[in-house]
Copies of this chain bind each other. A is one copy, B any other.
């Protein structure tokens, strides 16, 4: 965790200028010192309350005995520790008991939690999301009833969106809400894949449910958002009767196991009380406003797991003696640590590139959330964040998984057995390209929505930001100016491809979107190139001043790895994209 902590500090202070935030109105009470205290506390919680039961939560996964759901008791202890230390409330207003911590520090803390134990971290992660929704869109009365309980950890939260028959197609959900005389609603329907949907480690569970009010229009426009508590609340806020939300069953997963995954039935006995959030038919709109942050969270979790695997396989590669250089023919000479083998170094370098690049991307995005809230030019930050979000969610998910695959490979046979931690990271991470919008969904979002949005204004802002950073880096000497120069043709290539696809979408939207996933990956490569450029600039400063130069030398080498091993693929991707490659599009179902 020490190594990850160092990495986070580099990104926060040396690369993203997070200290600047402390001079903003909202964050005035914070300073480098208080922020470091927060990170210290997060690190202690990660090390002492989360990491120790990461394996146990996987081996002894949640189970349902027909009446109750059982989780290992460490889950409750960790939940309470996280809540008591104020991490659920941290970024919220003082009014609600928060400390108005900048988002980027909250996320950095979550990165440590996730690296230690991503499955248990899911509970506070989801609860923060629910609290955010309520704070932004619920009535004052509901805020008062639910927010303090959520933020203090008395209640936990879930997001109940998906239904078995609909999956990603939220337009087609069938859960129904019926208005009651008292202004509340009755829900009826079933939701699937609900993380944290049932447990007993806190007093109550608040489900945020997407449903259609009777008589709503078809499609996404008819979706509304509801608060549906497991236990109803009495007038005085104390727990009242059990609401008609029933556990229909648990789903058992390949990984991420200590996050209980449930099927929930709402209103089986026609008595499921729920409260509308905001206005009718705006449920999806509300959800989407919170989506950026949820998606940063997924990306960051994937990045943290990538880092955890990198960290362990690095440790292993330094300890493990095996083999000799090809140039050494003496079988009596001592074996070398495997980190001396170039192929092992390549696998570590790739992991370092994926993990650190992903962390940088997610913290950059978190910093934009802070700008959105507190900067005079918050609207610009919002637009950039909107454009980046599909990549923030999907790049770390895809390449973080790849990193974990390489961590296993570094360990060899040991990587495949459960006595070593890397196989669990790999299993845990496999969900990230799926939940909170699959890769395919992110790809459609980027190419089909974000690129053309506002006549390309989001995209123009993205390009402008990169150009500015290229210009800044180009003024220096050293590696940053070299990489800035190398980034330019890729930026131009990206513009060319994007212009082409915009026109193609106007012609035949289905064909032009057919290779959206390729465009997403293509865009991710460019974006990471830009973030590596930012890191190199910071590392060059570090090299000038710091006494421990090895950390910074590693940064320079890893940045070059991204430029030499990942960026060149953009050329062939561009060819396929601009050729409107139609192999998949043309394929017939019965040809398979």
| Cβ distance A15 to chain B, nearest Cβ, rounded Å | 18
Q: Which B residues are in CB contact (< 8 Å) with A405?
A: 401, 430
| Cβ distance A68 to chain B, nearest Cβ, rounded Å | 21
User: Size range of the interface on A?
Assistant: 35 or more
Contact B168 A412 (CB under 8 A): yes
Contact A588 B553 (CB under 8 A): yes
Sample (15) of A-B pairs whose CB atoms are under 8 Å apart: A167-B322, A172-B322, A254-B423, A340-B589, A342-B511, A342-B514, A346-B514, A409-B433, A409-B434, A412-B438, A413-B435, A423-B430, A561-B583, A564-B583, A569-B569
Query: Is A314 positioned at the interface, with any CB of B under 8 Å from its CB?
Result: yes
Contact A349 B409 (CB under 8 A): no
Binary flags per residue of A426-445, CB closer than 8 Å to B gives 1, else 0: 11001101110011100110
Tell me the nearest residue of chain B to A331, going by C-beta: B219
The CA of A205 and the CA of B53, in the complex, are separated in Å by: 39
The CA of A530 and the CA of B584, in the complex, are separated in Å by: 21
Q: Which B residues are in CB contact (< 8 Å) with A417?
A: 251-254, 261
Query: Is A327 positioned at the interface, with any CB of B under 8 Å from its CB?
Result: yes
Contact B510 A343 (CB under 8 A): no
Contact B583 A349 (CB under 8 A): yes
Query: Is A229 positioned at the interface, with any CB of B under 8 Å from its CB?
Result: no
Q: Which B residues are in CB contact (< 8 Å) with A346?
A: 514-515, 517, 584
Q: Which B residues are in CB contact (< 8 Å) with A252?
A: 417-419
Contact B557 A581 (CB under 8 A): no
Interface-located stretch among A141-149, A478-486, A488-496, A570-578: A570-578
Contact of A318 among B320, B325, B332, B589 (CB under 8 A): B589
Instruction: Knowing A343-B440, A343-B443, A439-B409, say if A331 contacts B171 (CB, 8 Å).
Output: yes
Q: Taking each of A320, A326, A511, which has the highest tally of chain B beta carbons within 10 Å of its own beta carbon? A: A326
Contact B550 A585 (CB under 8 A): no
The CA of A572 and the CA of B567, in the complex, are separated in Å by: 10
Tell me the nearest residue of chain B to A170, going by C-beta: B323
The CA of A443 and the CA of B342, in the complex, are separated in Å by: 12
